[in-house]
Amino acid sequence: MATTIAVDPSLSMQIVRGGSNQHGAVVEEIQGLIKVYKDGHTERPQIVPCVSPTLPPVFGVTTKDFVVDEFTDVWARFYVPKSNGKLPLVVYFHGGGFCVGSAAWSCYHGFLAKLAAEARCLIVSVNYRLAPENRLPAAYEDGVKCVTWLKHEVVKGSSEWWSKQCDLSSVFLVGDSAGANIAHNVATRLCFDNPYPLILKGIILIQPFFGGETRTESEKNTVQSPRSSLSLSASDTYWRLALPCGANRDHPWCNPLGKGSAKMEETRLLPTLVCISEMDILRDRNLEFCGALAKAGKKVEHVLYKVVGHAFQVLSKSQISLTRTNEMIAHIKAFVSADYCPL
């Protein structure tokens, strides 16, 4: 039976009030986001508030948190808009370089509530394990486990209200930044698993967090500005903390187009929508990824959002960002509503 949980924001962060001597020297740090000490202790300042699963009635969306795996402490937040029938299922993975972030962050709570209401879909936002305490593939494993858990809950006839509205024949894997990387890698695993009666229809990758040892033009030339939340140095640090020890940025989990990665032509991939930001250091990698999919004969669409940076849809409140966010939600709605056949 599904278990409901209440998220205590104080438990979502690991903060040490005392000095650093007890943990040794700081070995990795992204200012204001994460600090890792020599003994492995990790601090994450609460830069974004965590909020409970409640929403104003105006949204018309019911929200609730459920435990997915008690052993690994993986849980998910559900967003279910009012509906008289079944709804497409969107499994969402938040961003944060695999190292920070939460499904309870206020910025994701607001964005996903709006997406569920306007795109008319049931959204399950996964709170997966974070690196460096849990390096990749932990987040991928959590994603697969959550999708499998959802299938079992619906198939067995769970008493939870959401299971009656969940359309297992129309499932999409979606994420932003590192979450988009997770969505892509979870999809490649599930495509070989045949999780019937759950039918994967497509993936939506919002500013997917990919990398590589050779720098792209946008990585070299995009100046960090208030319009973009991701710098090149932060990107490199995230990858050092998230990849298996000793791996570099040409590891297949980081660089899907690298020499060690599976050939796109030989990989079963779902119809894909890629959302790209013009001012993002990841712009060129995202465009190269779309080009590789198209060259391999895969179904791929991409949208380039002008004059905005990385994660604008959740971190920026400027008028241009709000406009672009509305455009993004419209594009996601159209993709979810399209009659795509899984490959």
Q: Which helix (H) or strand (E) holds 275?
A: strand 272-277
Residue 232's SS3 state is: helix
Average pLDDT over residues 65-70: 96
Residue 152 pLDDT greater than 80, yes or no: yes
CATH architecture of 51-337: 3-Layer(aba) Sandwich (3.40)
Rounded Cα–Cα distance for residues 286 and 271 (Å): 16
Average pLDDT over residues 118-141: 98
The pLDDT of residue 228:
65
Task: Tell me the per-residue pLDDT of 159-209, one tens digit each, with 9 for 90 and over.
Answer: 677 888 999 999 999 999 999 999 999 999 998 776 778 999 999 999 999
Catalytic residues: 177, 280, 310
Q: Which helix (H) or strand (E) holds 150?
A: helix 138-155
Task: Tell me the per-residue pLDDT of 6-57, one tens digit each, with 9 for 90 and over.
Answer: 444 333 333 333 444 699 999 999 999 999 999 999 999 999 999 999 999 9
Residue 118's SS3 state is: helix
For residue 4, what pLDDT band results from cuts at 50, 70 and 90?
A: very low
Tallying the residues shown for the chain, one arrives at: 343
DSSP 2-37: -EE----GGGS-----S-SGGG-SEEEEETTTEEEE
Alpha helices by DSSP H, 164-216: 178-191
Rounded Cα–Cα distance for residues 238 and 33 (Å): 11
Residue 25, φ and ψ in degrees, nearest 5 = -75, 155
Task: Tell me the per-residue pLDDT of 243-278, one tens digit each, with 9 for 90 and over.
Answer: 999 999 999 999 999 988 988 888 888 999 999 999
**Domain chopping of the chain, boundaries:** 51-337
Percent of the chain with pLDDT over 90: 79
